[in-house]
Chain A
Amino acid sequence: MAKITFITTDNKRITLEGTSGSVMQLAVDNSVAGIDGDCGGVCSCATCHVHVAPEHEAKTGQATEIETDMLELNDHANAHSRLCCQIEITEALDGVELQVAESD
């Protein structure tokens, strides 16, 4: 069981519990604003873009090459960006805070 906190673009904090599956799916299943997961989680649409709080980056790990490719041209991407369809929920994620990224 991992507690994952999403902070929406209008600063609402939503804490959810998950055991498995992707972080994106957890967000979509709980209607977290700003996380759409249009492509169903295959890293094709960049609608699950989050910023990982720097102190928690050890929990999530770095973005994969495919993620950085997708985000390369995104004006709201930074060094802490992840596409959360590529983050699997495990115990290691417990306590992580994710800022939902702005979209155009």
Chain B
Amino acid sequence: MKKSELKDPFEDARKATGLGEMNDQNDPVKMVLGLKDVRKCAHNWKTFQSGATPGRIVVPSEVNIRTTRQIPFEVDPPEHKAYRALVDTWFKRPLEEEYTKKLTAQIDAIVEDVLTKDTVEVVEQFSLRLQSRALTLLLNTPYEEANTWIGWGTHVFRSEGEALDGDKANLLYDYIDEQITEAIKNPGADLYSVLLQSEKDGKKLTREEVKGVMILTFAGGRDTVINTVTNAIAYFAEHPESLKQLKAQPETITKAVEELIRYFSPLTQMGRVVTEDTQVCEHAVKADTRISLCWASANRDEKTFENPNEIVLDRKVNPHVAFGFGTHNCLGATHARQIMRILLATLSEKVDTISILDYKENIEDLDQFKRKVGFDSLTVKFNAKH
């Protein structure tokens, strides 16, 4: 029962000093590991800013592969609020009835499809397809567009064996440039067009600003959703009784989704740039260095979570930070939650058991820590209910 397990490599450091260290392209990161400290630092946007050089708050840093500022992600208050207000309502669309119906139809079809196969490589044939098709709903673009994104493969910025790949990143940026040009020529009801018509402080958004939002939308919800979906399949493969539990009590699905997301913590950490000499966990941190908010460590903090390293599907109180905390919390959370809720409902309805045939783990190299975040590949057989 170990293949679906995601161990917590941060425990010792979290209990000892509350901090970890990571050298990343000569811009070292002090990783904040405890839940309360993570929340405090996330809240203090003045000292721990997001509006630094574009790419710098991502770990590993993207300063060498991008110049476009991701919006609202890499903007500080007060300007942040104006940008966020432009997109908040759009990113709540996944709760609408029409959206939910279409997403359900998509997930239904993909589950039906894998039930007919002898073997399925989940990452490429299930999770990536599910993520990309769902993204067409979020962007309100034609369904066929998903084929382009599926064709990019599982890593937007990374190639096999390389942490960051500038060429692959340019693939995405060029694609977005093309879509923006098209939306300017032929305005529609897609997110590009809506953004191009949006106004901030009385002025329409520039191409660069629209690009900033779109890069974020693609990058933010790709690996995270793919890993969450894949990890869920691995979990249910090893815990078929959980699927039965969800079928018998579908009202527990929302809690189950939160618990899975807490345990998986698909976004391990997010950085901030320190703006003034200060202290974190009684350690000095200097201005113009980086800290990171280690969501994955915070989500296993034994001070808050009982049995933190267990998936307790009906965990009733679950103050996790998998979607971040504070003003920059995840815009895509509504969409991600809908995907997971519908996925769990569909699996519990149609799938009896899942057998793992082969797998290769995806382990993040965080210098002091090695963290399993998901799978590079996971080959399974889905077995239908009779």
Residues of A within 8 A of B (CB): 38-45, 64, 66, 69-70, 72-73, 86, 104
Contact = CB atoms under 8 A, between A and B. Distances in A.
Contact of B319 (A40, A66, A73): A66
Contacts of B81: 104
A38 B327 contact: no
B257 A69 contact: no
Main SS of chain B's interface residues? Answer: helix
Given A66-B317, A86-B317, A41 B254 contact: yes
A100 B323 CA distance: 23
Contact of B257 (A40, A72, A73, A104): A40
B39 interface: yes
A42 B316 CA distance: 6
B320 A38 contact: no
Main secondary structure of the interface of A (DSSP, over half): loop
B327 A104 contact: yes
A36 to B, nearest CB: 8
Given A73-B43, A104-B81, A44 B320 contact: yes
B82 to A, nearest CB: 13
Nearest to A86: B317
A43 B319 contact: yes
8 contacts: A40-B254, A40-B255, A41-B254, A42-B255, A42-B259, A44-B318, A66-B304, A72-B39
Given A38-B334, A66-B317, A44 B258 contact: yes
B47 to A, nearest CB: 13
A66 to B, nearest CB: 5
Interface residues on B, range: 20 to 34
B323 to A, nearest CB: 8
A42 B315 contact: yes
Contacts of B258: 39-40, 42, 44
A36 B258 CA distance: 16
A42 B258 CA distance: 8
Contacts of B315: 42
Contacts of B320: 44
Contacts of A43: 317-319
B300 to A, nearest CB: 15
B326 interface: yes
A69 B319 CA distance: 9
Contacts of A45: 323, 329
Interface string B227-267: 00000000000000000000000000011011100000000
A95 B36 CA distance: 36
A78 to B, nearest CB: 17
Interface in B31-50: 36, 39-40, 43
A43 B81 CA distance: 24
B337 interface: yes
Interface in B298-331: 304, 315-320, 323, 326-327, 329
A37 to B, nearest CB: 9
Contacts of A70: 319
A104 B257 CA distance: 26
B135 to A, nearest CB: 20
A44 B315 CA distance: 12
Interface in B333-347: 333-334, 337
Given A39-B318, A42-B259, 7 more contacts: A40-B337, A43-B318, A43-B319, A45-B329, A66-B319, A69-B304, A72-B39
A101 B257 CA distance: 26
B337 to A, nearest CB: 7
B15 to A, nearest CB: 19
B307 to A, nearest CB: 15
A43 B255 CA distance: 10
Nearest to B314: A42
Nearest to A73: B43
A89 B124 CA distance: 45
Contacts of A86: 317
Contacts of A104: 81, 327
A45 B334 CA distance: 12
Interface string B15-59: 000000000000000000000100110010000000000000000
Contacts of B326: 73
A1 B327 CA distance: 37
A44 B262 CA distance: 10
Contacts of A38: 333-334, 337
Interface string B141-157: 00000000000000000
